Amino acid sequence: MKTAIPAGRLGVAALAIAAVLPFLTDNYVTDVALTIVTYGILALGLNIVVGYAGLLDLGYAAFFAIGAYTTALMETLLNFNFWETIPFALLFAGISGVIIGWPTLRLRSDYLAIVTLGFGEIVRIIAVNLDITGGPNGIYGINPADVLGHDLTSPKSVYALGLVFLVIVLVLVIRLGQSRLGRAWTSLREDENAAEAVGVPTLRVKMLAYVIGALIGGLGGSLFAARFGTIDPTSFTYAQSVTILIIVVLGGRGSIPGVLLGAIIVAGLPEALRFLNLWREFVFAVALILLMLVRPQGLWPARLRRIAAPSADEAHDVPHAEVAKQIAAVTAGDPETLLEARNVTRVFGGLKAVTDVSFTVHRGEILSLIGPNGAGKTTVFNCLTGVLPPTSGSILWDGRSLSGLVPHKVVGRGLARTFQGIRLFNNMTVFENVLVGMDHRFRVPLPAELMGLPFARRSTGLHYAAGRNWLEFVGLADKAGLRAGDLPYGDQRRLEIARGLAGQPRLLLLDEPAAGMNPTEKQSLMGLIRRIRDLGTTVMLIEHDMLLVMGVSDRVIVMDRGQIIAEGAPAEVQSNPRVIEAYLGTEEDDADDGPIGNIPVGMLA
């Protein structure tokens, strides 16, 4: 794994070479370099959508077009100068980002391809068909950018302007990648539903990916218009969108050096292949296929780790980062009845998965929900957390209804969960997984975080320290920098718990936390659950392992076929004939033999 510093030095060195390039070569090379810089800017913008957020966009050239046409039209019709047009170019590109983002938010990811492609084509066809945009001929006589009264017309000076834009975009995308928004995008790419369920406002985050990507595309468009002085629709075709996408994927999705390398290759290679004449495009296509076959992840794949966890000493030095204090702060005013489910029913098609279920969760208890497979336990969890709306009935949390809240809002109210099948963000580090779980309560405004203002840095330090302390709480502090998907099974379960806890929940829902664990791991899980309760967080768990359930629970609720059939202390439930019947079935003989009495714990498992 490459560490951050050499990559940074390499980047600075590359930029330095780029800066002196025009002084060493002729105008032709400078011109090609400017094309590479323009593609670099565009690809960095698209990389936010495709690389960071994992969404597809086949119409990215539309934003490029909107920026270029805004600058061109405002300069030629309204006599604005280049700099005055930039805010408008960004504004219009941003608005179009919202327009394209909105209908695509709820679409399956595969459908994004055609919708974004359609959007790109619509923008181009409008430019071809309208008179104001000059139709197929485009717009002539766009003034060059001016700096202190000097027009930037020479190739060297336009190149310098492009390089400045590139550096601004670079700083922005690097900072974004390290911010909570960058993490949210990556979590979205890894597992959208899990992201939503641990507190990421996925719809807003997707929208932001399109909008910020659009802003960068618009900026690239303005630069393009000022560079050539003339634009026409042929620069903004589907092929252009595809070229930018190829740069991102060939270079390495999400990898900033990769994307820049991709820009150099895709924009530079056709120039280098000019001697092939007619064969050039064909050779380029075959080279593209071969490169993807050899390196499916891209030429320079993204680094796994964007931010490092603080060390134990650093984390312990930060005041207010202790896990106990964090939880105490949110659970202080909890009422006696934390949650109340009233007559909750959930129907799938004709099947009643959960029927008329009512129960309460008391502050500070460990409550288990057990029952045979298919009893409706996970459906109850899904209703509580907003994943599924109940067909009827209501859920009161702290006296207020939770109905109609989407999952990330429920997390914000203090309900966190884990999943029956582990759903970590595999291609993020262990530390970043925990951070995603706690980012919803990180209150620093995003611009302040991106600029690294002093108060934002302090809050970020506290945030990271708290995240690291949660890893320590579950015993994973020494694995903070590993890829989450590489952890052994038991550790993955504990990481999911840490991710849930890091959001400072008042109630933690664990869905079969012991599944697949060996006896030693189960033993330590029991200890962990008790420690969570001792912090002040109430715990409700679904579990099949009766040793664990009977060992840790204060109360047990038993479900069978969608209904609650028993409720009470572990010992009471164990001897309840209806429970035994649900687990073991009835036979005629059993009835004659009289009460079975306390069946061995092992049999229920």
Partner 1 sequence: MSEFIQLVIAGLTTGSFYALVALGYTMVYGIVRLINFAHGDIFMVGAFLGWTVLTALAATHMPWGLGILIALVLAMALTGGIGVVIERFAYQPLLSAPPLSILITALGVSLALENGVLLIFGPGFNTYPQLIGSGGFMIDGARITDIQVGIIILSFLLMAALYFFVHYTFIGTAMRALAVDRDAARLMGINVEGVIQITFFLGSALAAVAGVMEGLYYTEINFFMGFVVGLRAFTAAVLGGIGNIPGAMAGGLLIGLLEAFSAGYISSRWTDVIVFLVLIGTLVIKPTGLFGERVVERM
Interaction between residue 118 and partner 1 (CB under 8 A) = yes
Q: 161-168: list long-range contacts, CB under 8 Å, 24+ apart.
A: 161/223, 161/226, 162/34, 162/37, 162/38, 162/41, 162/223, 162/227, 163/15, 163/18, 163/19, 163/37, 165/37, 165/41, 165/219, 165/220, 165/223, 166/37, 166/40, 166/41, 166/44, 167/15
> Of 129 and 598, which has the nearer Cβ to partner 1?
129
| Interface with partner 1 in residues 168-197 (CB under 8 A) | 193, 197
Min. distance of Cβ 250 from partner 1 in angstroms? 7
Identify each DSSP E strand in 462-517 by its residue range. 507-511
Angle at 9 between CA 246 and CA 164, to 5 degrees: 60
Out of 65, 249, 477, 484, point to the residue binding partner 1 (CB under 8 A): 249
- As a whole number of Å, the end-to-end CA separation of the chain is 44
Query: Contact region for partner 1 (CB under 8 A) — 62-70, 312-320, 415-423, 482-490?
Result: 415-423
Interaction between residue 56 and partner 1 (CB under 8 A) = yes
| Interface with partner 1 in residues 301-340 (CB under 8 A) | none
Min. distance of Cβ 290 from partner 1 in angstroms? 9
- Asked if 313 and 477 touch (Cβ cutoff 8 Å), the reply is no
State the Cα–Cα distance between residues 99 and 207, nearest whole angstrom: 10
> Of 214 and 309, which has the nearer Cβ to partner 1?
214
Interaction between residue 422 and partner 1 (CB under 8 A) = no
Interaction between residue 107 and partner 1 (CB under 8 A) = yes
The closest of 354, 380, 384 to 369, measured between CA atoms, is 380
Interaction between residue 274 and partner 1 (CB under 8 A) = no
> Of 105 and 147, which has the nearer Cβ to partner 1?
105
Out of 14, 29, 126, 584, point to the residue binding partner 1 (CB under 8 A): 126
- 3-class SS letters over 508-525: EEEECCCCCCCHHHHHHH
| Interface with partner 1 in residues 350-379 (CB under 8 A) | 378
Beta bridge partners of 566: 558
- Total site size for partner 1, rule CB under 8 A: 49
State the Cα–Cα distance between residues 503 and 353, nearest whole angstrom: 29
Out of 33, 42, 46, 50, point to the residue binding partner 1 (CB under 8 A): 50
Out of 1, 20, 289, 332, point to the residue binding partner 1 (CB under 8 A): 289
Kind and range of the H or E run holding 259? helix 256-272
Report the SS3 class of residue 439: helix
Query: Contact region for partner 1 (CB under 8 A) — 126-134, 144-152, 173-181, 210-218?
Result: 126-134
Out of 64, 165, 419, 431, point to the residue binding partner 1 (CB under 8 A): 419
Interaction between residue 28 and partner 1 (CB under 8 A) = no
The closest of 300, 296, 304 to 258, measured between CA atoms, is 300
Interaction between residue 269 and partner 1 (CB under 8 A) = no
Q: Is 534 exposed, middle or buried (0-12, 13-18, 19+ CB in 10 A)?
A: exposed
Helix ranges (H only) for 146-237 are 155-178, 180-190, 192-197, 202-228
> Of 242 and 308, which has the nearer Cβ to partner 1?
242
Min. distance of Cβ 382 from partner 1 in angstroms? 6
> Of 75 and 511, which has the nearer Cβ to partner 1?
511
Q: Are strands 392-397 and 337-348 parallel, antiparallel or unpaired?
A: antiparallel
Out of 43, 89, 117, 484, point to the residue binding partner 1 (CB under 8 A): 117
Interaction between residue 406 and partner 1 (CB under 8 A) = no
Helices 238-251 and 280-294: crossing angle in degrees, nearest 10, is: 40
Query: Contact region for partner 1 (CB under 8 A) — 356-364, 417-425, 542-550, 585-593?
Result: 417-425
Interaction between residue 111 and partner 1 (CB under 8 A) = yes
Interaction between residue 285 and partner 1 (CB under 8 A) = yes
Min. distance of Cβ 60 from partner 1 in angstroms? 14
**Which two three-digit tokens encode residue 442?**
């990180």
Out of 21, 29, 113, 462, point to the residue binding partner 1 (CB under 8 A): 113
State the Cα–Cα distance between residues 339 and 539, nearest whole angstrom: 12
The closest of 564, 548, 537 to 513, measured between CA atoms, is 548
> Of 92 and 119, which has the nearer Cβ to partner 1?
119
Min. distance of Cβ 56 from partner 1 in angstroms? 7
> Of 16 and 285, which has the nearer Cβ to partner 1?
285
> Of 249 and 450, which has the nearer Cβ to partner 1?
249
> Of 83 and 279, which has the nearer Cβ to partner 1?
279
- Asked if 579 and 569 touch (Cβ cutoff 8 Å), the reply is no
- Binding residues (CB under 8 A) for partner 1: these are 50, 56, 103, 106-108, 110-111, 113-115, 117-119, 121-122, 125-126, 128-129, 193, 197, 238, 242, 245-246, 249-250, 253, 278-279, 281-282, 284-286, 288-289, 292-293, 296-298, 378, 382, 387, 419-421
